[in-house]
Amino acid sequence: MDTKKTILIVDDHTLFRNGLKLLLQHYLPDSVIIESSNGEDALLRVTNKMPDIILMDINMPVMNGVEATRKIIEMNPQACIIALTMHGDESYYYQMIDAGAKGFLLKNSKPDDVLEAIKQVCQGKHYFSEEIMYSVIRNLNKSDAEVPDIQLSSRETEVLKMICAGLSNQEIGDKLFISKRTVDNHRASLLEKTQSKNTAQLVMYAIKNGIIEL
């Protein structure tokens, strides 16, 4: 970490950004820190400023971290993106890594962990915080190999959102100009794919997987 680095912080919470910026400036006085409050703005910054490191939150308005990561990696597969997010986003681990993130940190990490992650990723390595590793291993152990390869179709996602909004299958059918029976089928597919046994579990799934906003 001897050369000057440009670090981009992408997070919708101004206070968190400002605090982290100070923190990084304190430990890495030679670095240049820039900020974005959402994924869309981050794309602009990446093309203009060419940051060496990107610290990316996941839950953000306008464009979330997974999508932003995917697009940045599309433009530059070498981009050093480190996910920086909260507990409870477990379902995002795979999505984020799949999108091309080189590291994954939790927001309850220590500053040292952030520095270590930046160091590792700069050297072309990967970095995952202990909690992430633990969670991944626990999931592997849980059910051998049946990795939740769940992929909902766009129509299914659409229906799921309406279910969460409290609409009945009939109402959903009316809104989408399709038969109630078709919605029945989508709902059945959703139950099977998400391994839910009723509406309540379906809603919980949608929330845990960020399909709907709170």
Partner DNA sequence: CCCGGTTTAAGTATATATACCCATAATAAA
Partner DNA sequence: TTTATTATGGGTATATATACTTAAACCGGG
Site residue total, a copy of itself (CB under 8 A): 40
Q: Which is nearer to DNA, 38 or 169 (CB)?
A: 169
Residue 119 near a copy of itself by CB under 8 A: no
Identify what 186 binds: DNA, a copy of itself, none; CB under 5 to 8 Å per kind: DNA
Rounded CA separation 16/108 (Å): 12
Residue among 25, 210, 94 at smallest CA distance from 34: 25
Judged by CB under 7 A, the chain residues 132 through 191 that form the site for DNA are 151, 153-156, 168-170, 173, 176, 178-179, 181-182, 184-188, 191
In 51-72, which positions are buried (b, 16+ CB within 10 angstroms) versus exposed (e)? bbbbbbbbbbeebbbbbbbbbb
Rounded CA separation 62/57 (Å): 13
Selected from 76, 153, 168, 179, the binder of a copy of itself by CB under 8 A is: 168
Residue 110 near a copy of itself by CB under 8 A: yes
Residue 76 near DNA by CB under 7 A: no
Identify what 88 binds: a copy of itself, DNA, none; CB under 5 to 8 Å per kind: a copy of itself
Give strand ranges (E) for the chain. 6-10, 32-36, 53-56, 81-85, 103-106, 127-128
Distances (CA, A) of 64 to 71, 72, 157, 171, 208: 11, 12, 17, 29, 15
Positions that interact with DNA (CB under 7 A) = 151, 153-156, 168-170, 173, 176, 178-179, 181-182, 184-188, 191, 197-199, 202
Positions that interact with a copy of itself (CB under 8 A) = 12-16, 18-23, 26, 37, 84, 86, 88, 107-111, 114, 163-166, 168, 196-204, 207-208, 213-214
